[in-house]
A and B are shown apart, each in its own frame.
Chain A
Amino acid sequence: MNASVGIVSAQRASFDTPLTVKSGAVLPRYELMYETYGTLNAGKSNAILICHALSGHHHVAGFYADNEKNIGWWDNMVGPGKPIDTEKFFVIGLNNLGGCHGSTGPSSIDPQTGKPYGASFPVVTVEDWVESQARLATLLGITQFAAVIGGSLGGMQAMQWALSYPERVRHVLAIASAPHLTAQNIAFNDVARNAILTDPDFHSGDFYQHGVVPTRGLRLARMLGHITYLSDDAMADKFGRELRSGKLNFSFDIEFQIESYLRYQGDKFAAYFDANTYLLMTKALDYFDPARELDGNLNRAFAAAKAKFLVVSFTTDWRFSPGRSREIVHALLHNKLDVSYAEISSQHGHDSFLMDDEQYFSVMRNYLDRVAQEGVA
Chain B
Amino acid sequence: MNSSIIESRPDFAAIAAWIPPGSSVLDLGCGDGSLLRYLRETREVQGYGVEISDANIAACIANNVNVIQSDLESGIADFENQSFDFVILSQTLQATRHTEALMNEIVRVGREGIVSFPNFGYWKNRLQVLLGNMPVSDELPYQWYDTPNVHLCTLDDFEFLCAHLHIRVLGRHVMAGGRNVHAMPNLLGSTAVYRFRLDV
Which A residues are in CB contact (< 8 Å) with B69?
341-343
Query: How far apart are A132's CB and chain B's nearest CB, in angstroms?
Result: 31
Which A residues are in CB contact (< 8 Å) with B64?
370
When C-beta atoms are compared, the residue in chain A nearest to B24 turns out to be A336
Chain B CB within 10 Å, residue with most, of A310, A326, A340, A343: A340
0/1 string, B136-170, CB within 8 A of A gives 1: 00000000000000000000000000000000000
When C-beta atoms are compared, the residue in chain A nearest to B54 turns out to be A359
Query: How far apart are B131's CB and chain A's nearest CB, in angstroms?
Result: 43
Which A residues are in CB contact (< 8 Å) with B83?
333-334
Which A residues are in CB contact (< 8 Å) with B54?
344-345, 359
Q: How many of B's residues come within 8 Å of A, CB to CB?
A: 21
The SS class assigned to the A binding surface is helix
Tell me, yes or no, whether B134 is within 8 Å of chain A by CB: no
Could you tell me if A367 and B61 are in contact, using CB atoms closer than 8 angstroms?
yes
Which A residues are in CB contact (< 8 Å) with B70?
341, 343
Could you tell me if A366 and B68 are in contact, using CB atoms closer than 8 angstroms?
no
0/1 string, B53-81, CB within 8 A of A gives 1: 01001111110111111100000001110
Could you tell me if A370 and B61 are in contact, using CB atoms closer than 8 angstroms?
yes
Asked if A366 meets B46 with Cβ closer than 8 Å, knowing A333-B79, A334-B80, A340-B67, the reply is: no
Kindly state the separation between the CA atoms of A359 and B61 in the bound complex, as whole angstroms. Answer: 12
Tell me, yes or no, whether B120 is within 8 Å of chain A by CB: no
Tell me, yes or no, whether B12 is within 8 Å of chain A by CB: no
Could you tell me if B68 and A340 are in contact, using CB atoms closer than 8 angstroms?
yes
Tell me, yes or no, whether A369 is within 8 Å of chain B by CB: yes
0/1 string, B168-188, CB within 8 A of A gives 1: 000000000000000000000
Tell me, yes or no, whether A19 is within 8 Å of chain B by CB: no
Chain B CB within 10 Å, residue with most, of A329, A330, A336, A366: A366
Could you tell me if A342 and B57 are in contact, using CB atoms closer than 8 angstroms?
yes
Kindly state the separation between the CA atoms of A153 and B54 in the bound complex, as whole angstroms. Answer: 25
Question: Which residues of chain A in 345-361 are interfacial with respect to chain B, using CB atoms and an 8 Å cutoff?
Answer: 345, 359
Q: How many of A's residues come within 8 Å of B, CB to CB?
A: 22
Kindly state the separation between the CA atoms of A344 and B54 in the bound complex, as whole angstroms. Answer: 8
Query: How far apart are A256's CB and chain B's nearest CB, in angstroms?
Result: 35
Cβ-neighbour of B58 out of A326, A339, A345, A366 (below 8 A):
A366
Could you tell me if A338 and B62 are in contact, using CB atoms closer than 8 angstroms?
no
Asked if A341 meets B58 with Cβ closer than 8 Å, knowing A329-B78, A330-B78, A333-B79, the reply is: no
Which A residues are in CB contact (< 8 Å) with B46?
336
Asked if A363 meets B48 with Cβ closer than 8 Å, knowing A330-B78, A340-B68, the reply is: no
Asked if A366 meets B62 with Cβ closer than 8 Å, knowing A341-B67, A341-B69, the reply is: yes
Which A residues are in CB contact (< 8 Å) with B48?
333, 339
Kindly state the separation between the CA atoms of A336 and B26 in the bound complex, as whole angstroms. Answer: 12
Which A residues are in CB contact (< 8 Å) with B58?
359, 362-363, 366
Could you tell me if B60 and A340 are in contact, using CB atoms closer than 8 angstroms?
yes
Kindly state the separation between the CA atoms of A233 and B101 in the bound complex, as whole angstroms. Answer: 35
CB < 8 Å A-B pair total: 53
Query: How far apart are B86's CB and chain A's nearest CB, in angstroms?
Result: 15
Cβ-neighbour of B78 out of A333, A338, A340, A359 (below 8 A):
A333
Which A residues are in CB contact (< 8 Å) with B68?
329, 333, 339-341
Which A residues are in CB contact (< 8 Å) with B59?
366
When C-beta atoms are compared, the residue in chain A nearest to B49 turns out to be A340
Could you tell me if A363 and B78 are in contact, using CB atoms closer than 8 angstroms?
no
Which B residues are in CB contact (< 8 Å) with A338?
66
Which B residues are in CB contact (< 8 Å) with A339?
48, 66, 68
Which B residues are in CB contact (< 8 Å) with A333?
48, 68, 78-80, 83
Which A residues are in CB contact (< 8 Å) with B79?
333
Query: How far apart are A116's CB and chain B's nearest CB, in angstroms?
Result: 46
Could you tell me if B78 and A326 are in contact, using CB atoms closer than 8 angstroms?
yes
Kindly state the separation between the CA atoms of A367 and B61 in the bound complex, as whole angstroms. Answer: 6
Could you tell me if A370 and B78 are in contact, using CB atoms closer than 8 angstroms?
no
Query: How far apart are A321's CB and chain B's nearest CB, in angstroms?
Result: 14
0/1 string, B5-36, CB within 8 A of A gives 1: 00000000000000000001000000000000
Which A residues are in CB contact (< 8 Å) with B62?
366, 369-370
Which B residues are in CB contact (< 8 Å) with A330?
78
Which A residues are in CB contact (< 8 Å) with B80?
333-334
Query: How far apart are B65's CB and chain A's nearest CB, in angstroms?
Result: 8
Kindly state the separation between the CA atoms of A366 and B62 in the bound complex, as whole angstroms. Answer: 5
0/1 string, A253-294, CB within 8 A of B gives 1: 000000000000000000000000000000000000000000
Which A residues are in CB contact (< 8 Å) with B78?
326, 329-330, 333
Question: Which residues of chain A in 173-215 are interfacial with respect to chain B, using CB atoms and an 8 Å cutoff?
Answer: none
Which B residues are in CB contact (< 8 Å) with A334?
80, 83
Which B residues are in CB contact (< 8 Å) with A340?
57, 60-61, 65-68
Kindly state the separation between the CA atoms of A333 and B76 in the bound complex, as whole angstroms. Answer: 12
In the A-B complex, the 8 residue pairs with the closest CB atoms: A366-B62, A362-B58, A366-B61, A343-B69, A341-B68, A359-B54, A340-B67, A367-B61
A-B contact pairs, 9 of them (CB 8 A): A329-B68, A336-B24, A336-B46, A340-B57, A345-B54, A359-B54, A366-B61, A366-B62, A370-B64
Q: Give me 6 other A-B pairs in contact (C-beta within 8 A), A334-B80, A342-B69 excluded.
A: A330-B78, A339-B48, A340-B68, A344-B54, A366-B59, A366-B62
Seen from chain A, the residues whose Cβ lies within 8 Å of a Cβ on chain B are 310, 326, 329-330, 333-334, 336, 338-345, 359, 362-363, 366-367, 369-370
